Amino acid sequence: MPTDLLRKVWGFDDFRPGQQDIVEAVAAGQDVLAIMPTGGGKSLCYQLPALMREGVTVVISPLIALMRDQVRALREAGVAAGALTSGNTEAETDEVFAALRDGQIKMLYMAPERLASGGTLPLLRRAGVTAIAVDEAHCVSQWGHDFRPDYLRIGELKRALKVPLSAFTATADAETRAEIVTRLFAGADPVTFLRGFDRPNIHLAFQPKNQPRRQIMDFVAARPGQSGIVYCGSRAKTETLANALNAAGHPALHYHGGMEAEARREAEARFQREDGLIVAATVAFGMGIDKPDIRWVAHADLPKSIEAYYQEIGRAGRDGEPAETLTLYGPNDIRMRRAQIDEGLAENDRKNADHTRLNALLGLAEAESCRRVKLLAYFGDEAGPCGNCDLCQTPPEIFDATRPVQMALSAMLRTGEWFGAGHIIDVLTGNETDKIRQRGHSTLPTFGVGTDWSRPQWQAIIRQMMGRDLCRPDPARHGALHITETAHPILRGEARITLREDSIKRAKPAFTPKMQVSEADAPLFSALKAKRRALAEAQRVPAYVIFPDRTLQEMAGRRPQSLDEMARINGVGAKKLESYGEAFLHVIAGETAPMHPQRRALAGRSAGTLFDRLAETQMRLARGEDGTGKPLSCSTSQLRRIAESRPSSREALSRMLDDARLDRFAEAFLSDIASL
């Protein structure tokens, strides 16, 4: 049963929403496409079925770091897993080959690039592969920013091996989903699970840029000791921001695609391993990061598209605990993103689609009501106001902006659509600069008509007009603003428009970070994290491979006093209980008596209670009822077998005990069994 394996291997009593249906479909050998929110537990949906079926499941995954972490976590949970990657040492590769030959591997991770090797298909046939799982399946889309050409070979592999395939992704619009079906499933519709895109634990917030370095530093300072990512629009900014964070006492490192491969690997490893570390990074960082306790993601610059935004914020709060985001944006961001699209080499249809994606993100940035409603609507999900975004918590002031917007559009047209926002604002506010005089713009009907609004207000109005795609910067005219078709109905007086009062005056987020545990439990939680960190560093694995934060939170709150109680904590499976149970109990309860391995195997189960009762009975009858008989006892392995099988008769018990022990213990043991 999947629920039994879930408890035994992963230590969880229940599936997350939507997981069980996917697990059962994959285990039944159906072709499956699952679109699940980041942090929704995708990996479990192919890992658990692999243990339910015969043979080997091969997992195609895009990044070495991700594969190595998943293999470590599976091995810690007692699952036979291995990876064949270019990052392996020769000894590691030989070990995986030997395990495959001996039938000792259930899950084999492999990078898509390995599919280009002629020896891969024969290897997988000999290994007895019975299923394929594809992680980050959106990498098959040639229009996606994570496109991996070797993903196109996966469909051929499925047809050659004649096995079921399950594909998983967190980010796939209708266009990408159709491409996945065509390329991985040869157009035959798989069983599709669309589990929604909502991540209700993530708080959403945007702010217009106003001293952006200070905005980021204030955000980080309010969250001491938390792991986070700051995404930056340039490589240089990652380095200067990381230096500033370190100088302010916040442990930080930088990451970008221009670094040497070894430096990038070391940065990834440090971020995975260390608690409370911040990384300032370009978008080169992230797809392979499976760290569940990232508490926040900030964007120092506007992301590329709404899909990129969704994927990047999705790296926060994968453990389901509260997480936060902050996205800064300004007119220069909009100009840069428009220029990147317009100056690209794509066909016009693709450029138009990319502008539409950017418009969706700008609409989210300039939203007048719940951001989550707007974000989910883009992905086809319906939702009510969330109460967990900045606009739900502090609704913005709205005003009818039809008149000033008409003024700004008219000024753009009357100046020939040859000027940027600064010059347009000079015209509107009647600021007679040298450029105004040279161009004769002080004689225009629009000169000085906008003095009811200050320069900062006009900057906010024009930024929001750009965000609503009423005007765009033209790269052929050095970023001059030109009006779009969307603006014409407003200019002609056929439509009205509302805008937000600028939120610059609320630069500091109103959202207060939630503590991960109660104040009373905080010292113990810190001690448990310190123990986890020491164990992780000794084994050179990420801290969450030992236990995730939410497991330590539950330990701190419930304070188990025995291995039986520890086994009931979510996230403590049988193998981890054996490996780490006593170490963490020592932190919680001080020194504890060691438990025999045979008894430890029954921890948290009713068989464990019966084992203890049988052991007490055996001790009481060690010299018989009157205390004068020959000393006699059962081995701990015999007691374990009796406790697990619960024989109900002397005859059944005789298959485990010899005649002398039957005569001494049978009646009392059967009475113990019947009473529990």
CA distance 21 to 194: 12
pLDDT at 593: 54
Coil, strand or helix: which one is 16? Answer: coil
Alpha helices in 136-208 (DSSP H): 154-161, 174-185
DSSP state of 204: B
- Cβ 131 vs Cβ 50: under 8 Å: yes
pLDDT at 506: 44
Q: How far is CA 127 from the centre of its chain?
A: 31
Residue 134: C-alpha distances to residues 131, 140, 141 (Å): 10, 10, 13
pLDDT at 381: 81
Count of C-beta atoms within a 10 Å radius of residue 437: 11
Q: How far is CA 101 from the centre of its chain?
A: 34
The total number of residues written for the chain in this structure: 676
pLDDT at 143: 64
Coil, strand or helix: which one is 164? Answer: coil
CA distance 171 to 137: 9
Beta strand residue intervals within 27-153, DSSP E:
32-35, 56-60, 81-84, 107-110, 129-134
Q: Count CA atoms within 13 Å of residue 40 on its CB side.
A: 26
- Cβ 334 vs Cβ 463: under 8 Å: yes
Could you tell me the end-to-end alpha-carbon distance of the chain, in angstroms, rounded to an integer? 24
Q: How far is CA 619 from the centre of its chain?
A: 52
Q: How far is CA 330 from the centre of its chain?
A: 27
CA distance 255 to 546: 26
Coil, strand or helix: which one is 9? Answer: helix
Coil, strand or helix: which one is 419? Answer: coil
pLDDT at 509: 45
DSSP state of 134: E
pLDDT at 272: 81
User: Following DSSP, what letter does each residue of 511-536 receive, concatenated?
Assistant: PPPPPSS-TTTHHHHHHHHHHHHHHH
pLDDT at 298: 97
**Closest by CA position to 385, among listed 372, 395, 398:** 372
Note the CATH architecture for domain 522-595.
Orthogonal Bundle (1.10)
SS3 letters across 429-451: HCCCCHHHHHHCHHHCCCCCCCC
CA distance 352 to 341: 9
Whether the domain at 2-194 and the domain at 522-595 fall into the same CATH topology: no
Coil, strand or helix: which one is 480? Answer: strand
CA distance 113 to 124: 15
Note the CATH architecture for domain 398-502.
Orthogonal Bundle (1.10)
pLDDT at 288: 56
Note the CATH architecture for domain 202-341.
3-Layer(aba) Sandwich (3.40)
pLDDT at 508: 44
Tokens 């939702």 sit on residue: 383
Count of C-beta atoms within a 10 Å radius of residue 97: 15
pLDDT at 246: 93
Residue 15: C-alpha distances to residues 314, 549, 577 (Å): 20, 18, 20
Domain residue limits, the chain: 2-194, 202-341, 398-502, 522-595, 606-675
| The pTM of the whole model exceeds 0.75 | no
Beta strand residue intervals within 126-251, DSSP E:
129-134, 165-169, 191-194, 202-203, 206-208, 228-231
- Cβ 574 vs Cβ 601: under 8 Å: yes
CA distance 521 to 523: 6
Fold category of 2-194 in CATH: Rossmann fold (3.40.50)
CA dihedral of 219, 224, 225, 226, whole degrees rounded to 10: -30
All residues at 6 or more sequence positions from 547 whose CB lies less than 8 Å from its CB, including other chains: 532, 571, 572, 576, 580, 584
- Cβ 394 vs Cβ 204: under 8 Å: no
Tokens 């990498």 sit on residue: 139
- Cβ 584 vs Cβ 535: under 8 Å: no
Q: State the 10-residue block means of pLDDT for the chain, 676 residues long.
A: 84 86 94 84 92 94 82 90 87 90 93 88 92 91 74 92 93 80 90 86 94 94 91 94 94 92 86 88 75 92 90 87 94 89 83 86 92 89 90 92 96 94 94 92 94 91 92 84 94 93 50 62 81 84 85 90 89 90 86 66 77 84 80 86 90 89 90 84
pLDDT at 375: 93
